[in-house]
Amino acid sequence: MELRQLRYFVTVVEEANFTRAAARLHVAQPGVSAQIGQLERELGQRLLDRTGRAVTPTQVGAAVLPYARAALAAVDAVRETVDEFTGLLRGRVAIGLVSGAATHAFDMAGLLAGFHASHPEVEIALTEDTSERMLAALRAGELDIAMVGLAEPGPPPGLALRLVVDEPLVAAMAPGDALAAEDGELPLSALRGRRLICLPRGTGVRGVLDRLCAEAGFAPQVAFEAAAPHLLAQLAARGLGVAVVPALPEETGEPSGLRLRPLAGPRARGRVALAWRTDGPSGPAAQALLDLLHDALPVPTGGANLLHEDAPHPRA
């Protein structure tokens, strides 16, 4: 029995597919199949059920899986312990990024590239998803770090946050819209019965809109959804509804044919935060990337770290 065979077995189970597992492992698919077949022959039992559309562990495979993971984790821990003495980082870091976050003033691609240059033995896996799903993935240990939009005022249970973006939410509308005739803050009640344009469910801004409208006694009538705030603004500029978006740069606002009115209320804000589990990242590589992002990402004007009360500083 070889560690390579155990790693192949665990990866196939996680991906539920030989081809995807091979791509993740950076090996040819026949090689993965051959190694797992050899492991099954050595053990005298089938570990994987290949008859369905998705590959699933057999009863024996399910029983073996936690021991295979424990063996791999032990080997990784040995490497990490040695690497700490040599100053070399290895491993894999899974980071999630909310749609549209990269359009802000921070250069996420540049930060990740710099980290990779300093730690070439660390594999970085980047995914883009809704904040709701990424928060669940953080709790489940599927992500080490995530940049998420916040729907609630405080940190979610079990997670620590460091605020990165804190902007007022605005209603963007075409100049001919009735709401454009006045200036000043727009009360939430003015959106009752209006066709709205907003980010999809599961995003922080949409969560804030849903919550504020519920507190005002109505459900928002969202006619158009898109992941990019600038697309929402373009739809509003063409008179298709009122877009609820974070404050837009000047070049996207009134000069482009939009009228902007801030939503009333101190909690009508779009916030993005760096998030990680309160018990800390899964290993030294993830800790190093968290430290880098924590120090390099901007702090909003007047914004605090917004750490969970039970969470240590990332380096603690």
Structure confidence by residue, pLDDT tens digits, 270-313 = 888 999 998 877 788 888 899 999 888 877 765 455 555 444 55
Per-residue confidence band for 250, with pLDDT thresholds at 50, 70 and 90: very low
What CA–CA distance (Å, rounded) separates 218 from 103? 32
What is the percentage of the chain residues whose pLDDT exceeds 90? Answer: 36
Which residue would you say has higher pLDDT here, 251 or 279? 279
Extract the tokens encoding 62: 């399910």
What CA–CA distance (Å, rounded) separates 122 from 92? 6
Beta pairing partners, 195: 221
Which residue would you say has higher pLDDT here, 255 or 144? 144
In this structure, what DSSP letter does residue 28 have? Answer: -
Domains in the chain, ordered, with CATH? 3-86 (1.10.10.10), 91-160+277-296 (3.40.190.10), 165-270 (3.40.190.290)
Checking if the pLDDT of 108 tops 90, the result is no
Burial class (CB in 10 A: 0-12, 13-18, 19+), 193: exposed
What CA–CA distance (Å, rounded) separates 79 from 144? 19
Beta strands in the chain (DSSP E): 48-49, 56-57, 91-98, 122-129, 145-150, 159-173, 195-198, 221-225, 242-246, 259-262, 269-277
Q: What is the pTM of this model?
A: 0.65
Which residue would you say has higher pLDDT here, 87 or 268? 268
Structure confidence by residue, pLDDT tens digits, 37-74 = 999 999 999 999 999 889 999 999 999 999 999 999 89
Identify the pLDDT of residue 201: 87
Q: Region 195-212: what's the mean pLDDT?
A: 89
Query: SS3 for 261-307, per residue?
Result: EEECCCCCEEEEEEEEECCCCCCHHHHHHHHHHHHHCCCCCCCCCCC
What CA–CA distance (Å, rounded) separates 210 from 192? 12
Which residue would you say has higher pLDDT here, 249 or 235? 235
Please name the amino acid found at residue 197: I
205, 270 in Cβ contact below 8 A? yes
Backbone angles phi, psi at 196, to 5 degrees: -110, 155
Q: What value does the mean pLDDT of the chain take? A: 84
Q: Region 151-178: what's the mean pLDDT?
A: 86
Per-residue confidence band for 248, with pLDDT thresholds at 50, 70 and 90: low
Q: Region 144-170: what's the mean pLDDT?
A: 87
In this structure, what DSSP letter does residue 220 have? Answer: -
What CA–CA distance (Å, rounded) separates 223 from 243? 10
Q: Is 149 left (phi over 0), alpha (psi -120 to 50) or beta?
A: beta
Query: Residue ranges of the alpha helices (H) in 131-187?
Result: 131-140
3-state DSSP assignment of residue 81: helix
Per-residue confidence band for 122, with pLDDT thresholds at 50, 70 and 90: confident
Q: Region 1-20: what's the mean pLDDT?
A: 92
